[in-house]
Amino acid sequence: MKTIMITGTSSGYGLETARHFLERGWRVIATMRTPRQDVLPRSEQLRVLALDVTDARSIAAAVDAAGPVDVLVNNAGIGAFGAFEATPMQTTREIFETNTFGTMAVTQAFVPGFRQRRSGVIVNVTSSATLAAFPLVAPYTASKTAVQGFTASLALELRPFNVRVRLIEPGYGPETRFTENGGARMQGLITEPYAAYAQDVFAQFAQATSVTHASDVADAVWQAANDTSQRLHYPAGADALALAAGG
């Protein structure tokens, strides 16, 4: 029986991915900053661990508690909608700390085990914002684009050790808690000069008919975890697939 560890499983894509793999008989290690058992079905194959991807001690403790895993999914992330002009640099750094450096730190902690066993899969979840330009998400897009480059390079670096590295690129997911999770970080980021433009942008997103569902991302992670080829990119969702195809 294989084991998968997923970061950021309290909601959205991470939660659905954990459910997806549990239903298919995998051992699942679901991590979140504040562990909650009630969001996932009870199962002998499930472990819920505390993990703050921005805290080195938390990462080390999670690695020790998890033991060997076959697949690591770096899904934990935060975001913010807003004009870059109005975004404090501290907020931009906070986004990078979780999305970019958090992904890199967790990956680095698990690489020795994968390398020594000469097997394993690392799956990094980014965004369709890396496939096409979107307004009002400049720091978020930058943080995810950095992960794209990191992942592509790491895939080559770990290939001699039979460790596969993947990218999941979800599209726009209205059923996620992206905006809700932004919380105070997003307050004041739409200043008056940008208000009318932002209203138009939000209206376009609200009318979108081609979107990404959490199940699309879970399916893509499943495919990436079980694909033995050297494929790197896995767009997830109808809109992401269209962007990846140049549509």
Catalytic residue list: 140
Half-sphere exposure of 126 (CA within 13 A, CB side): 29
Residue type, 1: M
Between CA 142 and CA 194 the distance in angstroms is 20
Are 4 and 27 a contacting pair, CB within 8 Å?
yes
What is the DSSP code string of 51-90?
Answer: --TT-HHHHHHHHHHH-S-SEEEE-------S-GGGS-HH
In sequence order, which residues have a C-beta less than 8 Å from that of residue 234 and are 6 or more positions away?
166, 167, 168, 169, 220, 221, 223, 224
